């Protein structure tokens, strides 16, 4: 008797069906919307004034007047993402306008914020998808998404350090695009038993990873660790595992939450789909620990289409298994080159985590901890996971 497979591996997978652009990767293929139209334009007007009010320490005065528009008329896609960007900034600015922060968001912000987030399939908080994937524009439309040709659409305090921190992450997303397409083609070659093509595509992945690292290496050029830690970072924290909000944040007027405080993780680069995608394709697995559990929980903050892409790519083709079985020299060498490039990228990230967070925290008696914006004690787990990557080199 033939058995029917439940969720059989896909022999074909469409990048565009999963919101993956061949040129921009997980970034949208069309530049994000700069303005909302009609009555929603009033949100844009308030957002344009927000940095000035934050600098003056009176943002709540501005945000009390945010109109509580019905969001049903917002169209899916760019309009919805633009609304999510503005409302997320309103919510985080409201919470963090003063020290200590407050623990509730008023209904005029919370209700439309929760409604838009529900339609997007993400929690109502400023996530990586909102802050990086949908918060940019090109300065010259004839040139690609790259440092020197991109600017942010929305700021908190603004300034060089604030902008550069976000722009570097956006440029990394664009630099990763060739790796995404090459990984899928490498899987195609695995399914077709073509080791030579596997090697070609994996070398393209390695080149893309090198480009990502070259972008990340530019972070210190215009983002100072002290400025990041004391001025940029405080607006990025979430409500989960945050001692300032032991019970979470209350979203006033949101019926779905029933008046109960909510705890969501803050914006963090760990919410990018790039590393989970690469780990899945390359068969990289970590031992169970709090960071592994935390990383898995962050899938809830990834756009649903990207989340589905990662989940469907995993069982599609066993790249590592094929290389371990057949040992094709060129493909194994290219695979190992990718593993080493992933290790180098994460090692640089760990170095920045130490310089931009841990070392700054140690100098600040009021915040001597190593908890990241997502709400996890990251340093000791990052080191462990970094060491684990090289264990996947095929000897």
> pTM higher than 0.85 for the full model?
yes
Q: What is the pLDDT of residue 98?
A: 86
Strand partners, 249: 262
Q: Of the ranges 1-10, 118-127, 251-260, which one carries the lowest mean pLDDT score?
A: 1-10
Look at residue 252 and tell me whether its pLDDT is greater than 50: yes
User: Contacts by 29-33 with C-beta closer than 8 Å and gap 24+?
Assistant: 30/78, 31/136, 31/137, 31/138, 31/141, 32/78, 32/81, 32/82, 32/85, 32/134, 32/135, 32/136, 32/137, 32/153, 33/78, 33/79, 33/81, 33/82
Mean pLDDT (the chain) is: 93
Mean pLDDT for the stretch of residues 257-271: 96
Look at residue 99 and tell me whether its pLDDT is greater than 90: no
Look at residue 2 and tell me whether its pLDDT is greater than 90: no
Q: For the chain, what are the domain ranges?
A: 18-392
Of the candidates 121, 123, 90, 115, the one whose C-alpha atom is nearest the C-alpha of residue 265 is: 123
Q: What is the pLDDT of residue 152?
A: 98
Q: What is the pLDDT of residue 293?
A: 87
Look at residue 392 and tell me whether its pLDDT is greater than 50: yes
What does the alpha-carbon distance between residue 252 and residue 250 come to, in Å, rounded to a whole number? 6
Q: What is the pLDDT of residue 136?
A: 99
Looking at 1.25.40.80, 1.10.287.110, 1.20.1530.20, 1.20.58.480, the CATH number of the domain 18-392 comes to: 1.20.58.480
What does the alpha-carbon distance between residue 227 and residue 163 come to, in Å, rounded to a whole number? 12
What residues contact 213, with CB distance under 8 A and at least 6 apart? 341, 344, 345, 348
- Using a pLDDT cut of 90, give the percent of the chain over it: 84
Query: Tens digits of per-residue pLDDT, 135-163?
Result: 999 999 999 999 999 999 999 999 999 99
Q: For residues 326 and 195, is the Cβ–Cβ distance under 8 A?
A: yes
- Using a pLDDT cut of 70, give the percent of the chain over it: 94
Q: What is the pLDDT of residue 100?
A: 86
Mean pLDDT for the stretch of residues 299-321: 96
Query: Tens digits of per-residue pLDDT, 192-235?
Result: 999 999 999 999 999 999 999 999 999 999 999 999 999 999 99
């Amino acid at each position: 008797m033939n058995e029917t497979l439940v969720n059989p591996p896909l022999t074909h997978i469409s990048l565009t069906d999963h919101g993956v652009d061949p040129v921009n990767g997980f970034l949208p293929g069309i530049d994000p919307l700069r303005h909302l139209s009609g009555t929603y334009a009033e949100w844009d007007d308030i957002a344009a004034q927000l940095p000035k009010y934050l600098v003056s320490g009176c943002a709540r005065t501005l945000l009390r007047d945010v109109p509580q528009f019905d969001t049903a008329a917002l169209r899916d896609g760019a309009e919805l993402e633009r609304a999510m960007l503005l409302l997320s900034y309103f919510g985080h600015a409201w919470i963090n306008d003063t020290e200590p922060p407050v623990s509730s968001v008023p209904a005029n912000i919370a209700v439309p914020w929760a409604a838009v987030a529900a339609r997007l399939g993400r929690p109502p908080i400023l996530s990586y998808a909102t802050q990086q994937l949908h918060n940019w524009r090109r300065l010259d439309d004839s040139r690609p998404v790259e440092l020197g040709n991109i600017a942010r659409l929305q700021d908190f305090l603004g300034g060089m350090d604030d902008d550069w921190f976000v722009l570097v992450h956006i440029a990394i997303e664009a630099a990763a695009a060739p790796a995404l397409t090459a990984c899928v083609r490498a899987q195609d070659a695995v399914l077709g038993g073509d080791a030579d093509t596997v090697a070609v595509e994996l070398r393209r992945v390695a080149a893309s990873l090198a480009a990502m690292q070259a972008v990340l290496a530019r972070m210190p050029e215009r983002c100072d660790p002290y400025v990041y830690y004391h001025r940029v970072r405080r607006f990025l924290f979430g409500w989960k595992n945050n001692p300032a909000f032991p019970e979470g944040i209350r979203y006033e007027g949101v019926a779905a939450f029933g008046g109960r405080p909510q705890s969501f993780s803050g914006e963090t680069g760990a919410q990018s789909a790039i590393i989970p995608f690469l780990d899945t394709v390359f068969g990289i697995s970590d031992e169970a620990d709090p960071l592994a559990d935390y990383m898995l929980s962050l899938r809830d903050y990834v756009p649903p289409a990207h989340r589905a892409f990662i989940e469907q790519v995993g069982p599609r083709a066993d790249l590592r298994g094929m290389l371990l079985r057949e040992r094709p020299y060129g493909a194994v060498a290219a695979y190992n080159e990718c593993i080493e490039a992933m290790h180098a990228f994460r090692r640089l990230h760990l170095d920045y985590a130490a310089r931009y967070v841990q070392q700054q925290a140690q100098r600040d008696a009021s915040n001597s901890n190593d908890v990241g914006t997502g709400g996890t004690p990251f340093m000791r787990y990052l080191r462990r996971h970094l060491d684990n990557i090289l264990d996947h080199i095929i000897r």
